[in-house]
Amino acid sequence: MKKTITSSLLAAALSATTGHAAITYVDATTANTTFGDGSAFAPIGGADTDGHWGSRTVFGNGGEIYTSRADEDSPELRTTISGLTAGTYNAYAFYWVAGWVDGNDPTGNNQWDFAAGLASGNTSEYLWNEGTQTQASDFAGTVMVEEGNRRLFMIDLGNVAVDGSGELAIYIDDNPGNDDRTWYDGVGYQTVPEPSSAALIGLGGLSLILRRRK
């Protein structure tokens, strides 16, 4: 019986300390996105040109995505999330992958790639399948995760501390040298809760039981 109670308290405590809120999606726009150095960003409408991000205005969340062709080396971007309360957050970046036909994985140049990070000049490059395919249930609110033969993928960038400025900057890049394009849609965040009262009570009760059993 004691073992069962101990296990139950431990499970409850761990559950209370590891719970996460849903992801809040933030669409990338020219209002919150600049070049990596903070200078104004102005994508080229329609066609992509080497050294520049293109804009496709009938796709993705918010009706616009930023694109880089396979043969381009586009500059780093910075999308800033504002209005956050100081604390710890999990950060995400979102991109599209094409070529989903009859449930099969994409092949050839439909394997769209991506690069993202939490510091300028320190983005990591990801092949299409090194991200995670999103589900509608991942998000707090309505986010489009499927469009035609395309699927929305995410990169989990890990935890980041947000200070009193309330701003979280996420850096985006293409994957130059690879033979696939990049379709960038937006970023997201998820609160990382402090240990709750229930967790602290559970851990305290567990500690008391363990002391009594010694």
In the chain the domains, ranked by start, together with CATH numbers, are 1-19+194-214 (no CATH), 21-192 (2.60.120.260)
Q: Is the pLDDT of residue 179 over 90?
A: no
Lowest mean pLDDT among 99-113, 135-149, 180-194: 99-113
Instruction: Please name the residues in contact with 200: beta carbons below 8 A apart, sequence gap of 6 or more.
Output: none
Looking at the chain, how many residues does it have? 214
Give the model's pLDDT for residue 49.
66
The stretch 27-52 carries a mean pLDDT of 87
Instruction: Please name the residues in contact with 99: beta carbons below 8 A apart, sequence gap of 6 or more.
Output: 105, 106, 107, 108, 110, 111, 149
Lowest mean pLDDT among 28-32, 150-154, 173-177: 173-177
Rounded Cα distance between 110 and 13, Å, is: 44
The closest of 183, 169, 185, 187 to 36, measured between CA atoms, is 169
Q: Structure pTM?
A: 0.82
Give the model's pLDDT for residue 189.
98
Give the model's pLDDT for residue 48.
60
Q: Percentage of the chain surpassing pLDDT 90?
A: 59
The stretch 122-134 carries a mean pLDDT of 93
**Phi and psi at residue 3, in whole multiples of 5°?**
-65, -40
Q: Is the pLDDT of residue 82 over 70?
A: yes
The per-residue pLDDT of the chain, averaged, comes to 83
Q: Which residue has the higher pLDDT, 176 or 179?
A: 176
Q: Is the pLDDT of residue 212 over 80?
A: no
